[in-house]
Chains A and B, each alone.
Chain A
Amino acid sequence: MADLLIRNAIFSEQEENADDNPFPITGRTTKMLSNKHFKRLLTKELISAKKNISGASAINLKKLYIQLHLNEDALAKLNSSEWHVKAQAIQELGIMEQKEYLNKIYRLTNNKNDLVRMEAQTNIVKLYGFKGLRFLDVISYQLTEWQQIALLKELSMLPPENFNKIEKWLKSKNTSVIAFALKLTRTYHRFELYDQVIECLSHENEEIRFEAIYTLEKIYNIDTADVLLERYEYETLKNQKAIVSVMQNIASDESIPMLISFLNQGDNDLKRMIVRTVAHINTSSLLQLKELQTAQEYPLEQIIKQIEGEIK
């Protein structure tokens, strides 16, 4: 019966007066709606259909959802004390595009339960696009790496917008907000934020500096390689590797001597990365490397041979 009701809604797009008239609901269906199991099944099916259908049919599914007052049930679930019920309600309202519940969902973007928080943040973005990101102004809990990726994925489905709050988020007290703002900067190539990203290179948090290094790879200018090379000796091993990796794409021949000088320290992986980067910038620089005093010693000898094999 739930299936039939939904299919009728999907195909009523052809009806002449489908826009204003409510869908015909039989007395039996109305009676069945008082059964909570039927209602739960109907809601589940309706959500599943809405995920797969677009256009006029999707509008009809939304209309049916409201006509059956299922939005009010979702609202009640939103106030539940059980986190999984709350999270489910947020997801439901998001899929059914119930924008009028913005304020209620928005309040949950900083909920103490991480799953409620994640659902609220993702669905706010689903409903309001880039404007929905305003929760970044106020959240005190950390955005996990996973959640940052989920938000970027949600945003990638929207047409790019010239949203102007990234600069503010780059100065947030919440370090995960800064990390996410850096990801936004590089994803959307926001060249005008170059100076603010450079400032992040001096942040006390290693992760932020790491993100800043990779962001500069996407918005670099003629000075960026030098800036990163100057930072190199003050960085952790992880960030030194990030700098060397980024150099592959932004450095020129002038950076090669300094990169070669870094071969004196670090683990074998870092050394291998440096040799690969140097060879990537200019293949003939491998000759320069072979002239080094240590070029015949372990591990440089083996590394040079390996990279030579790679570029052949």
Chain B
Amino acid sequence: MKILIAEDEELTLKTLELRLKKDGHEVILARDGREAISKIQENLPDLVISDIMMPYVSGLEIIAEIKENLSDHKISIIILSGMGQEDIVLEAFQLGADDYITKPFSPNELTVRVRRFDLMKAR
């Protein structure tokens, strides 16, 4: 799968990248929301994994952009949220997010969640 990760924290970004590459995915990195939107439009990934709190453009705005302008491309979205951000997660789902992972997250859990989307895509 082609996966775009939008995360402003370098170490988390690299951790996600390593794990997903190890799982055999093609990974595109974005370090802020603006870069994420531009790379999503350019690369049309199958899955976007995005943090909520990011510089310039938030994860919620990324979801809105995908749903409004790229809805023909069937891009799935997983949101990375902090503990106690239930309201924001709910808003993300209302905007069209498909799943969420709460930080701190286990890389193994990430693999399982991403695999689910991979299977759905293969069907």
Interchain CA distance A3-B109 in the complex, whole Å: 22
Does B71 touch A at the CB level, under 8 Å?
no
Nearest-CB distance from A236 to chain B (Å)?
33
Interchain CA distance A157-B103 in the complex, whole Å: 12
Does B18 touch A at the CB level, under 8 Å?
yes
The answer to whether B107 and A57 touch across the interface, beta carbons within 8 angstroms, is: yes
Number of interface residues of A (CB under 8 A): 21
Does A205 touch B at the CB level, under 8 Å?
no
Interchain CA distance A51-B80 in the complex, whole Å: 13
The answer to whether B18 and A7 touch across the interface, beta carbons within 8 angstroms, is: yes
Q: A7-B18, A52-B12, A53-B15 are in contact. Are A157 and B105 (CB under 8 A)?
A: no
Contact of B11 among A13, A45, A55 (CB under 8 A): A45
Residues of A within 8 A of B69 (CB): none
Interchain CA distance A52-B106 in the complex, whole Å: 9
Residues of B within 8 A of A157 (CB): 83-84
Does A153 touch B at the CB level, under 8 Å?
yes
The answer to whether B106 and A56 touch across the interface, beta carbons within 8 angstroms, is: yes
Interchain CA distance A71-B22 in the complex, whole Å: 32
Interface of A is mostly: helix
Interchain CA distance A92-B120 in the complex, whole Å: 41
- Which residues of B (92-113) have their CB < 8 Å from a CB of A? 103-109
Q: A3-B14, A7-B15, A7-B18 are in contact. Are A52 and B103 (CB under 8 A)?
A: yes
Residues of B within 8 A of A6 (CB): 11
Q: A7-B14, A7-B15, A157-B84 are in contact. Are A51 and B104 (CB under 8 A)?
A: yes
Residues of B within 8 A of A7 (CB): 11, 14-15, 18
Residue of A nearest to B11 (CB): A49
Nearest-CB distance from B23 to chain A (Å)?
12
Contact of B104 among A11, A52, A56 (CB under 8 A): A52
Interchain CA distance A7-B19 in the complex, whole Å: 10
Does B91 touch A at the CB level, under 8 Å?
no
Contact of B106 among A48, A51, A54, A153 (CB under 8 A): A54
Q: A52-B11, A157-B83, A157-B84 are in contact. Are A11 and B106 (CB under 8 A)?
A: no
Nearest-CB distance from A62 to chain B (Å)?
12
Interchain CA distance A7-B109 in the complex, whole Å: 17
19 contacts between A and B (CB under 8 A): A3-B14, A7-B11, A7-B14, A11-B22, A11-B107, A13-B108, A45-B11, A48-B9, A49-B11, A52-B11, A52-B105, A53-B12, A53-B15, A53-B106, A53-B107, A54-B104, A54-B109, A57-B107, A58-B104
Binding site for B on A (CB under 8 A): 3, 6-7, 10-11, 13, 45, 48-58, 153, 156-157
| 20 further A-B pairs in the complex, CB-CB below 8 A; given A53-B106, A55-B106, A55-B108 | A3-B11, A7-B14, A7-B15, A11-B22, A11-B107, A48-B9, A48-B11, A48-B12, A52-B9, A52-B12, A52-B104, A52-B105, A53-B12, A53-B104, A53-B105, A53-B107, A54-B109, A56-B108, A57-B107, A156-B84
Binding site for A on B (CB under 8 A): 9-12, 14-15, 18-19, 22, 83-84, 103-109
The 6 A-B pairs at the shortest CB distance, nearest first, are namely A55-B106, A54-B104, A52-B12, A54-B106, A52-B103, A49-B11
